[in-house]
Amino acid sequence: MSLPPEQPPEPRIPLGHGATFAPRFASGDGPDYDNVLACIRCGLCLSVCPTYATDGVEVQSPRGRVALIRAWQEGRLELSPNLRDHMYHCLDCRACQTICPTGVRVGELVLGARAVAESQRRRGAVAGALAGFSLRWLLPHPDRLEASLVPLRLYQRLGLQRLVRGSGALRLLPGPLAEMEGLLPQLPGRPLRQELPEVVPTSGVRRYRVGFFLGCVMTLVFARSSRATVDVLTANACEVVTPKEQVCCGAPHTEEGEFEEVRALARRNIDVFESLGVDYIVADCAACGAQTKEYAHLLCDDPAYAERARAFSAKVRDISEFLVGIPLRRPLGAVPRQVAYHMPCHLAHAQKVREAPRQLLRLVPGLQLMKLNEDDWCCGSAGIYNISHAGRADKILARKMDNLRESRADTVVTGNPGCLLQLQAGVRGRGWATDVRHPMELLAESYRGGAGEQLPPLDGEKVRIDSGSPTD
Ligand code: SF4
Ligand code: SF4
């Protein structure tokens, strides 16, 4: 009697469909199926993913997230609260995109998946009201944003913050409130938007007319840093134009998959900056820079804005990227500090600007750059991740702080407000004296120490500014 032919075993990991398959939600803001298919499951990305390093499970890795999205698109998985949560566990740090050999854009795929999940979601009354309040009522309106911080400023001025922190009452606050309070730094007396003249002239002959994209958190919380950015620009032959009508870049809305809101904000910013006749648009917030560089892609199907969005995004530069591409005055005053540079994910991975800030810091006399291990590893801030996923964010921050301690730096610098907040909280929580600064603050401090000779553009950064169009 002959035995039946042996059947091949069922594959343990379903291989899924191929390029000819018609997937779900492959158009619009949903995940790009072709890019999903580009994942060859090599696992290289696992070594750089902070959530995989923290949790050690496949679904918390870039490869796992791509597999989930693919199964969902191919109908092998249905949207569930669990699947939605998995999409929000990603930090969108994009470290996986830097290392992926086949160009899988995992962070972007996850944002696309969030957009689909949100479009199919029936939020409860409270959650819906909160999202509507923050994303649609508050963030797009600078005046309302500024007014919303008045109670917090009073809370600090009246000494209540000292009382709350000193008495241990923080532990009595519900989770997210305690996290938010723990992140709150000393607020400036007034938002920079209210103080900064719309046009700040250069002290010498004008070479460039630069539009300043003043981010929401920068004006409200890190006014000193953005003031330093303006000072560095004007010290380098730039006239700085900061229109008061500009609005939020849309980064918070992107993280929540609210792409229509982002497009509305993008159109408003394009309208505002277009009329200014600026040579470049400079951001000192890595998240704003990354987001505004995306306007061209976001509005590519809008007949009225596609070309204008391309022109807008082509002018956007991170402040460090801009400065290394123009003839620079040499900073002269000594800034005797031992400095570690933490790379913001939205600068290093999203914009691919990695060396420019360090190139600038090396010019400062007396400043010693210290080695920071894993300098491009996320700090755990990631928008509101440190509030919504506080436990995991704390573990990710702990790894950063261990590296910072080993660097023996007395100052850590970084060019993104979320990272500044997170690192400040890390330093405060450990009782360290480490100073947390934006790179422009150290550069401005050095410029205040004297007027130097003019240097040619620095070399070495991938993204260079073209010869430009000096306005004078
Ligand atoms: S996302 Fe890229 S690096 Fe990660 S497993 Fe897929 S192909 Fe490899
Ligand atoms: S974006 Fe960051 S957190 Fe998300 S999968 Fe990639 S490396 Fe992991």
> Which of 68, 86, 90, 396 should be mutated for ligand 2, with most atoms under 8 A from CB?
90
Distance 3 CA to ligand 2 centre (A): 50
Residue bearing tokens 């904000």: 265
pLDDT at 470: 35
297 with 255, same domain?
A: yes
* pLDDT value at residue 70: 95
Q: Which of 288, 323, 358 is the last residue of a domain?
A: 323
Pair 89, 139 in one domain: no
Pair (169, 60) in one structural domain:
no
The answer to whether residues 219 and 306 belong to one domain is yes
Per-residue pLDDT band for 168 (boundaries 50, 70, 90) equals confident
Instruction: Provide, rounded to the nearest whole percent, the portion of the chain with pLDDT above 90.
Output: 69
Tens-place pLDDT, residues 173-183:
666 677 777 77
What letter does residue 42 receive in the DSSP assignment?
-
CA of 201 to the centre of ligand 2 (A): 42
- Domain presence at residue 472: no
Pair (425, 363) in one structural domain: yes
Q: Provide the domain limits for residue 367.
A: 328-455
Residue 438: give its domain's CATH number: 3.40.50
Domain C-terminal end among 163, 183, 203: 183
Q: Helices (DSSP H) in 247-389: which residue ranges?
A: 251-255, 259-274, 286-293, 295-298, 306-315, 319-323, 345-348, 356-361, 385-388
- The C-alpha atoms of residue 164 and residue 155 are separated, in whole angstroms, by 10
Q: If you search the block for the tokens 């010290």, which residue do you land on?
A: 235
* Same domain for 318 and 198: yes
454 phi and psi, to 5 degrees? Answer: -90, 135
Residue nearest to ligand 2 atom 7, measured at CA: 49
Burial class (CB in 10 A: 0-12, 13-18, 19+), 175: exposed
Q: Tell me, using a 6 A CB cutoff, whether residue 106 lines ligand 2.
A: yes
Name the residue with the closest Cα to ligand 1, atom 8: 42
Rounded distance from Cα 190 to ligand 2 centre (Å)? 36
Q: Are 238 and 209 in contact, with CB atoms under 8 Å apart?
A: yes
CA of 256 from ligand 2 middle (Å) equals 16
Query: What pLDDT, on a 0 to 100 scale, did the predictor assign at position 177?
Result: 72
Torsion angle of the four alpha carbons 283, 339, 425, 262, in this order, in degrees rounded to the nearest 10: 20
For the residues 423-440, what does the mean pLDDT come to?
A: 96
Distance CA 88, CA 60 (A): 10
Helix (H) or strand (E) holding 417: helix 417-430
Q: Which ligand sits closest to the CA of 103? A: 1
Whether residue 82 is contained in a domain is answered as yes
The predicted structure's pLDDT at residue 464:
38
Which of 102, 119, 136 marks a domain boundary?
Answer: 119
Distance of alpha carbon 312 from alpha carbon 297, whole angstroms: 11
Instruction: Report d(CA 313, CA 320) in Å as an integer.
Output: 17
Find out whether 364 and 443 touch, Cβ atoms under 8 Å.
yes
Instruction: Assign residue 71 the CATH number of its domain.
Output: 1.10.1060.10
Q: How far apart are CA 191 and CA 368, in angstroms?
A: 32
| Position 463 confidence tier, pLDDT thresholds 50, 70, 90 | very low
- 460 is a domain residue: no
229 and 340 fall within a common domain: no
Residue 346 belongs to some domain of the structure: yes
Q: Is residue 451 part of a domain?
A: yes
Give domain status of residue 24, yes or no. Answer: no
Which residue's alpha carbon is nearest to atom 7 within ligand 1? Answer: 39
Pocket-testing residue among 49, 59, 102, 108, ligand 1, by greatest number of atoms within 8 A of Cβ: 102
Please tell me the predicted confidence (pLDDT) of residue 15: 61
Task: Specify the ligand 2 atom closest to the Cα of 62.
Answer: 5
Q: Are residues 308 and 364 in the same domain?
A: no
Q: What region does 368 belong to: left with phi over 0, alpha with psi -120 to 50, or beta? A: beta
Q: What total number of domains does the chain contain?
A: 4
| Residue 9 belongs to some domain of the structure | no
Cβ of 107 closer than 6 Å to ligand 2, yes or no, is: yes
* Mean pLDDT across the chain: 88
Q: By C-alpha distance, which of 153, 137, 232, 178 is closest to 440?
A: 232
Residue 179 tokens, joined: 């996290």
**Would the pLDDT of 405 be above 90?**
yes
Do 262 and 352 lie in one domain? The reply is no
In angstroms, the CA 310 to CA 297 distance is 8
Whole-angstrom Cα distance, residue 424 to residue 114?
Answer: 30
Q: Closest Cα partner for 91 from 413, 418, 313?
A: 418
Decide: 113 in ligand 2 pocket, CB within 6 A: no
Pick the range with the lowest mean pLDDT from 25-29, 126-130, 200-204, 340-344: 126-130
Whether 381 and 406 map to the same domain: the answer is yes
Residue 227 Cβ inside 6 Å of ligand 2? The answer reads no
Whether 107 and 92 have beta carbons less than 8 Å apart is answered as: yes
Q: 65 CB less than 6 Å from ligand 2? A: yes
Same domain, 213 and 162: no
Is ligand 2 within 6 A of the CB of residue 51? yes
CB-defined site of ligand 1, < 6 Å = 39-45, 62-63, 66, 96, 100, 102, 104, 106
Q: Does 91 share its domain with 129?
A: no
pLDDT tier, 99 (very low <50, low <70, confident <90, very high otherwise): very high
Q: At what angle do helices 390-407 and 417-430 cross, to 10 degrees?
A: 80
200 forms beta bridges with 240
Q: Which of 171-175, 187-191, 252-256 has the lowest mean pLDDT?
A: 171-175
Residue 72 Cα to ligand 1 midpoint, Å, equals 18
| The model's pTM | 0.88
Nearest-atom index, ligand 2, CA of 378 = 2
The pLDDT value recorded for residue 344 is: 98
**C-alpha–C-alpha distance, residues 409 and 34, integer Å:** 44
Q: What amino acid is encoded at 47 in this protein?
A: S
Average pLDDT for 38-51: 96
Q: Is residue 336 part of a domain?
A: yes
